[in-house]
């Protein structure tokens, strides 16, 4: 079983503190890899404008890097800052890492007149073009994200060791949100893309557990014709795509996500104030019903964080913290490591009906239940 | 050599050894009660007086050398029309285990002369392909263990129902719901449906028993089982009863029974579960229904609006239609309108290489509620042997192809595919059904299995009985003759229906639990399927395992 840790705080902090929390939970995982997602970034050596997109990935050869540069220039991106990691190569298991990429770009001035939706679309298409280019050249280019204020790192190895190898302990990068996961995928072929967290257009999730309904869900998402619904090297990638589909395509509130992946039963819906709408939604989104055990931790572009469970609740997760600072982890010791000075009696372990939401102001923990009224239009 | 005239020698002459079933009769145990001959549905058994010579050596010239003994025994007719059908009714009534039919191990010669009067062989029942079917060979091999502990079929909650009816894409659903527009009707049903068997084909007692059982499953056990009528309507009292909601009404090319149905609409207490428009059936593609005169009783004649005792062959196609487009537009929309767009309407077609084109037409019509595909292994009340044996398409590849086609269009949740044709033909009903579901079907229909399981139908894949077509069903399942159908107690049928569905429900859980599935029926979960045949695995796009 893998272990998850996420911290969100109004004041930026070092991702290394989250890796230390992973270490606290080390008995529960094999430590075969690290996946990191940072939001709300600050660089010690660069004054970052949060509107500029950041490209994260790995160029496995010089040629790949050259092609990447060419593609980015052709797409109208201008390089503003290239974060050089203090890489300790001897600590990295893989030997084909030519350069870890974490670069701030300025997008083409011609995009200024485009709608926000179109800009988001183009950022995604550029990321997919880079990914495709790498796949066409024997996976020599791996791209995790291209999005404003989001950086991602994925690497094989012991999580804390990977953090040290990449110099994350130096404090050169800090962020307001850090999502960390400590394992390479084990159920399908080893692939950096298969490592959580998963990212699509600002939406990111990481998951604990196995999704046995993966193939039907993947088949359905693939059939949407949406260019970003690809990959699926891991069964958990669908959680990010479903969250994206619900919030960005259906444009429904975040609370609806839980109704889509784990709908209520008939008798529960019969008693629900919006039971009629929700029953229809369950039918329409039937292929997106997950079959955990899963704990899903997600973050959204506005720095909202969330945690939900599958309907059987067979994977652990705890949330705790204080105003301005919250942590979610697979185990209590993980939360302890991230926020030791909190009121532990207020820690919360969600049940099958709950969605834990930490809004961007981080002042309180919202515990929303599926049995509650859904914040949508009256007609529903 | 004896003269020709002393032999019964015509081209169609047969001996018991030439027949598909041979009666084995033990004269030493026979009590001569005559029950077997009385019960035999085809009159093959005759009580006969016979004489045999008792030779003994006599030296005196005054006495004859032999004496004769007469005795009474059972003989089997070798006439084509009266050949033994292997039903075993004789064995059932024999008080002394003196008689039973045995299948002829040789390939029988009977089949070569089974065309008397120029009439090709006909039968009811099944396709008669013994041995494990393809569906029997599909196994569920993606077992969740350490990465995801298997579920407890007895303790966890399972959601194993399916949807029948058109489901909107989520974007369109949300838009219409917020705008207050029409949402197509959808029924949540148990994925194993009692397939369409008409009120003319089944006896009144069988029909009543099925309906009672279905009502119990719904109202007491909470298993939302539905049953489909075949062509030929529904008893008037059922149309006006609250049980109509468990019934899928079928309309087929003869439109039999629809006068009664249309007249009953204003008096209906509830809507039917769905309307099935039959364009074809798996056992006899290209043929309409074939209710033979033996079965057109007074009641059936009234329901169908025809005179008693006439053959009722439905035309092979709906005479008012030219094309699939027109069919979809005219019939699906007309039937939808009859119930004010509150009832799902869907077509049933024979398994066919052209199934995909039908499906694609349905996808484009916003009123089509599902597609039901009936494969070659489907049963029927009556058909020509050639249709049953050699016409049609097996269901597995047909369903898979259609499902993958829907996936490519992203519409697999919008038009549910229902599959039939050989589900449970060897008794493995849940295995067969779940295999089809994981290949992409939303549910399955079963006919023969229910007749066997709930009413003790004697048919097997070895051409046993198979006389549903002539109204002589020895169990009273497919007969309109009160002497026969009174053998069947509707209450006992109802009880067996209930037992059958309870058992299927448990088995469904026993399949889902080790796969780590409990929250929704694993439709299209093809990663869980395996078969020990490379070609089949490749064709169905599942895993080859050995």
Q: Could you read off the pLDDT of A56-103 as tens digits, one per residue? A: 999 999 999 999 999 999 999 999 999 999 999 999 888 889 999 999
Q: Which residue of A has its CA nearest to B149?
A: A293
CATH number of A4-48+149-369: 3.60.20.10
CA distance to partner chain B, nearest, from residue A340 (Å): 31
Close Cβ partners of B22 (under 8 Å, ≥ 6 residues apart): B16, B76, B84, B101, B102, B103, B104
Residue A96 CA, distance from chain mean position: 25
Q: Is the domain of B97 the same as that of B139?
A: no
Disruptive mutation site among B516, B521, B527, B528 for chain A (greatest number of A CBs within 10 Å):
B516
Close Cβ partners of B535 (under 8 Å, ≥ 6 residues apart): none
- Confidence band of A115 (pLDDT split at 50, 70, 90): very high
Pairing of strands B45-55, B312-313: unpaired
CB–CB contact B147 A186 (8 Å): yes
> Shortest CA distance to B453 belongs to which of B191, B100, B180, B213?
B213
Give A-chain residues touching B523 at CB under 8 angstroms.
216, 287
Q: What is the pLDDT of residue B148?
A: 66
Pairing of strands B227-229, A318-322: unpaired
d(C-alpha A259, C-alpha A269), whole Å: 11
Pairing of strands A150-156, A33-43: antiparallel
Cβ proximity of A221 and B407 under 8 Å: no
Cβ proximity of A180 and A24 under 8 Å: no
Q: Is the domain of B454 the same as that of B516?
A: yes
Residue B361 CA, distance from chain mean position: 27
User: Measured between CB atoms, does A314 come within 8 Å of chain B?
Assistant: yes
Close Cβ partners of B485 (under 8 Å, ≥ 6 residues apart): B203, B204, B205, B206, B473, B476, B477, B479
d(C-alpha A36, C-alpha A118), whole Å: 27
Q: What is the pLDDT of residue A5?
A: 94
Cβ proximity of A371 and A265 under 8 Å: no
What ranges do the domains of chain A cover? Answer: 4-48+149-369
Give A-chain residues touching B170 at CB under 8 angstroms.
245, 250, 281, 284-285
CA distance to partner chain B, nearest, from residue A209 (Å): 7
d(C-alpha A232, C-alpha A227), whole Å: 13
Disruptive mutation site among A208, A209, A213, A250 for chain B (greatest number of B CBs within 10 Å):
A213
Residue B272 within a domain: yes
Cβ proximity of A102 and A56 under 8 Å: yes
Whether omega before A197 lies within 30 degrees of 0, making that bond cis, reads yes
Max intra-chain CA distance, chain A: 61
Q: What is the pLDDT of residue B96?
A: 94
- Confidence band of A188 (pLDDT split at 50, 70, 90): low
Long-range contacts of B214-217 (CB under 8 A, 24+ apart): B214/B243, B214/B246, B214/B497, B215/B243, B215/B246, B216/B494, B216/B497, B216/B498, B217/B190, B217/B497, B217/B498, B217/B501
CB–CB contact A213 B517 (8 Å): yes
Q: What is the pLDDT of residue B374?
A: 97
Close Cβ partners of B500 (under 8 Å, ≥ 6 residues apart): B213, B450, B453, B454
d(C-alpha B26, C-alpha B66), whole Å: 26
Give A-chain residues touching B167 at CB under 8 angstroms.
283-284, 286
Q: Which residue of B has its CA nearest to A287?
A: B413
A244-281 pLDDT tens trace: 999 999 999 999 999 999 999 999 999 999 999 999 99
DSSP letter assigned to residue B140: E
> Shortest CA distance to A263 belongs to which of A234, A287, A240?
A287
d(C-alpha B246, C-alpha B390), whole Å: 34
Q: Tell me how long chain B is.
A: 546
Helices of type H across chain A: 15-24, 62-74, 116-136, 159-165, 214-222, 237-244, 256-261, 266-270, 275-284, 332-338
Domain count, chain B: 2
Q: Is the domain of B154 the same as that of B70?
A: no
d(C-alpha A367, C-alpha A282), whole Å: 22
Close Cβ partners of B10 (under 8 Å, ≥ 6 residues apart): none
Q: Which residue of B has its CA nearest to A256?
A: B174
* Crossing angle of helices B490-512 and B448-455, rounded to 10°: 120
Q: What is the pLDDT of residue A187?
A: 54
Q: What is the pLDDT of residue A189?
A: 55
Cβ proximity of B250 and B227 under 8 Å: no
Range of the domain at B292: 134-158+190-544
Helix (H) or strand (E) holding B349: strand B345-350
3-state SS assignment for residue B109: coil
Disruptive mutation site among B153, B170, B414 for chain A (greatest number of A CBs within 10 Å):
B170
Give B-chain residues touching A223 at CB under 8 angstroms.
407-412
d(C-alpha A187, C-alpha A207), whole Å: 14
Query: What are the beta bridge partners of residue A355?
Result: A308, A368
d(C-alpha B410, C-alpha A225), whole Å: 8
Indicate which CATH number applies to the domain containing B523.
Answer: 3.20.20.70
Q: Is the domain of B82 the same as that of B148?
A: no
- Confidence band of A185 (pLDDT split at 50, 70, 90): low
Neighbour-count burial for A345-379, b at 16+ CB within 10 Å, e otherwise: eebbbbebbbbbbbbbebeebebbebeeebebeee
> Shortest CA distance to A335 belongs to which of A353, A322, A323, A324?
A322
Cβ proximity of B303 and B260 under 8 Å: yes
Using the predicted structure, report yes or no on whether residue A380 has a pLDDT greater than 70. Answer: no
B212-261 pLDDT tens trace: 999 999 999 999 999 999 888 888 899 999 999 999 999 988 888 888 89
User: Measured between CB atoms, does A274 come within 8 Å of chain B?
Assistant: no
Give A-chain residues touching B149 at CB under 8 angstroms.
293, 314
Q: Which residue of A has its CA nearest to B142?
A: A212
Our CA dihedral for A369, A370, A374, A379, rounded to 10 degrees, sits at -160
Name residues of chain B where pLDDT drops below 70.
1-7, 64-65, 146-149, 320
d(C-alpha B332, C-alpha B355), whole Å: 17
Query: What are the beta bridge partners of residue A198?
Result: A205
Using the predicted structure, report yes or no on whether residue A369 has a pLDDT greater than 60. Answer: yes
More confident residue, A234 or B500: B500
Cβ proximity of B395 and B403 under 8 Å: no
Give the burial class of B47: count Cβ atoms within 10 A of its Cβ; 0-12 exposed, 13-18 middle, 19 or more buried. Answer: middle
Residue B166 within a domain: no
CB–CB contact B163 A283 (8 Å): yes
Helix (H) or strand (E) holding B24: strand B21-25
Give B-chain residues touching A225 at CB under 8 angstroms.
410
Give A-chain residues touching B178 at CB under 8 angstroms.
377, 379-380
């Amino acid at each position: 079983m893998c272990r998850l840790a996420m911290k969100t705080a109004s004041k930026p902090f070092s991702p290394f503190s989250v890796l230390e929390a992973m270490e606290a939970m080390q008995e529960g995982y094999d430590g075969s890899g690290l996946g990191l997602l940072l939001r709300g970034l600050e660089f010690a050596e660069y004054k970052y404008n949060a509107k500029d997109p950041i490209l994260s990935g790995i160029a496995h050869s010089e040629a790949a890097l050259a092609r990447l540069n060419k593609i980015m220039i052709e797409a109208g991106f201008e390089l503003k800052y290239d974060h050089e990691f203090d890489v300790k190569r001897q600590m990295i298991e893989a030997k084909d890492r030519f350069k870890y990429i974490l670069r701030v770009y300025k997008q083409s001035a011609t995009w200024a007149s485009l709608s926000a939706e179109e800009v988001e679309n183009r950022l995604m298409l550029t990321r997919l073009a880079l990914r495709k280019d790498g796949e066409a050249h024997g996976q020599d280019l791996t791209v995790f994200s291209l999005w404003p204020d989001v950086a991602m790192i994925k690497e094989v190895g012991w999580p804390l060791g990977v953090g040290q190898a990449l110099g994350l302990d130096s404090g050169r990068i800090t962020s307001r949100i850090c999502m960390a996961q400590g394992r390479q995928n084990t159920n399908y072929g080893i692939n950096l893309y298969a490592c959580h967290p998963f990212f699509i257009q600002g939406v990111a999730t990481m998951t604990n557990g196995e999704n046995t309904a993966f193939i039907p869900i993947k088949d359905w998402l693939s059939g949407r014709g949406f260019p970003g619904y690809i990959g699926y090297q891991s069964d958990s990638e669908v959680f990010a795509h479903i969250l994206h589909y619900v919030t960005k395509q259906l444009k429904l509130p975040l609370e609806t996500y839980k109704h889509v992946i784990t709908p209520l039963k008939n008798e529960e819906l019969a008693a629900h104030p919006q039971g009629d709408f929700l029953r229809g939604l369950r039918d329409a989104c039937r292929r997106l019903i997950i079959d955990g055990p899963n704990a899903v931790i997600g973050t959204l572009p506005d720095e909202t964080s969330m945690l939900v469970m599958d309907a059987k609740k067979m994977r652990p997760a705890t949330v705790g913290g204080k105003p301005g600072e919250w942590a979610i982890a697979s185990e209590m010791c993980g939360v302890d490591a991230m926020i030791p000075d909190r009121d532990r009696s207020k820690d919360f372990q969600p049940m099958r009906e709950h969605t834990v939401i930490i809004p961007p102001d981080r002042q309180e923990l919202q515990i929303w239940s599926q049995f509650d009224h859904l914040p949508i239009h009256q007609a529903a | 050599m004896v003269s020709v005239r002393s032999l019964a020698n015509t081209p169609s002459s047969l001996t018991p050894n030439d027949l598909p079933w041979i009666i084995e009769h033990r004269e030493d145990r026979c009590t001569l009660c005559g029950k077997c001959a009385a019960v035999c549905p085809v009159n093959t058994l005759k009580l006969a007086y016979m004489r045999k010579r008792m030779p003994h050596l006599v030296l005196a010239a005054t006495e004859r050398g032999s004496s004769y003994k007469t005795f009474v025994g059972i003989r089997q007719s070798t006439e084509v029309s009266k050949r033994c059908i292997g039903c075993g009714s004789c064995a059932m009534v024999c008080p002394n285990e003196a008689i039973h039919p045995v299948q002829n191990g040789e390939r029988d010669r009977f089949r070569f002369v089974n065309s008397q009067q120029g009439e090709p062989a006909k039968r009811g029942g099944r396709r008669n392909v013994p041995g494990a079917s393809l569906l029997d060979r599909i196994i569920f091999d993606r077992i969740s263990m350490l990465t995801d502990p298997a579920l407890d079929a007895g303790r966890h909650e399972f959601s194993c129902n399916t949807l029948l009816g058109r489901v909107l894409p989520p974007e369109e659903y949300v838009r219409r719901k917020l705008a207050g527009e029409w949402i197509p009707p959808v029924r949540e049903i148990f994925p194993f449906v009692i397939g369409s068997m008409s009120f003319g084909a089944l006896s009144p007692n069988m029909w009543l028993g099925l309906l009672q059982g279905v009502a119990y499953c719904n109202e007491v056990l909470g298993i939302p089982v539905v049953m489909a009528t075949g062509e030929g309507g529904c008893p008037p009292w059922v149309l006006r009863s609250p049980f109509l909601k468990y019934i899928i009404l079928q309309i087929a090319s003869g439109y039999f029974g629809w006068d009664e149905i249309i007249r009953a609409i204003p008096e209906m207490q509830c809507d039917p579960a769905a309307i099935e428009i039959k364009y074809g059936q798996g056992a006899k593609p290209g043929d309409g229904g074939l209710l033979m005169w033996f079965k057109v009783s007074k009641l059936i004649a009234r329901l169908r609006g025809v005179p008693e005792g006439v053959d009722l062959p439905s035309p092979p196609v709906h005479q008012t239609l030219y094309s699939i487009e027109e069919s979809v537009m005219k019939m699906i929309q007309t039937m939808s309108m009859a119930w004010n767009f509150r009832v799902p309407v869907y077509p049933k077609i024979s398994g066919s290489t052209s199934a995909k084109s039908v499906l694609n037409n349905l996808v484009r019509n916003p009123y089509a509620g599902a597609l039901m595909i009936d494969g070659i292994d489907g049963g029927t009340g009556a058909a020509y042997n050639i249709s049953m044996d050699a016409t049609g398409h097996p269901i597995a590849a047909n369903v898979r192809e259609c499902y993958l086609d829907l996936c490519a269009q992203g519409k697999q949740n919008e038009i549910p595919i229902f599959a039939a044709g050989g589900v449970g033909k060897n008794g493995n009903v849940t295995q067969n059904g779940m295999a089809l579901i994981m290949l992409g079907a939303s549910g399955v229909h079963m006919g023969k299995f229910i007749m066997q399981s709930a009413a003790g139908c004697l048919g097997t894949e070895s051409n046993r009985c198979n006389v549903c077509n002539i109204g002589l069903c020895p169990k009273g399942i497919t007969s309109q003759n009160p002497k026969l159908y009174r053998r069947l107690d509707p209450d006992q049928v109802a009880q067996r229906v209930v037992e059958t569905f309870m058992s299927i429900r448990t088995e469904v859980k026993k399949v889902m639990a080790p796969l780590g599935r409990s929250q929704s029926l694993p439709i299209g979960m093809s990663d869980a399927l395996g078969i020990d045949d490379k070609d089949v695995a490749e064709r169905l796009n599942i895993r080859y395992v050995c």
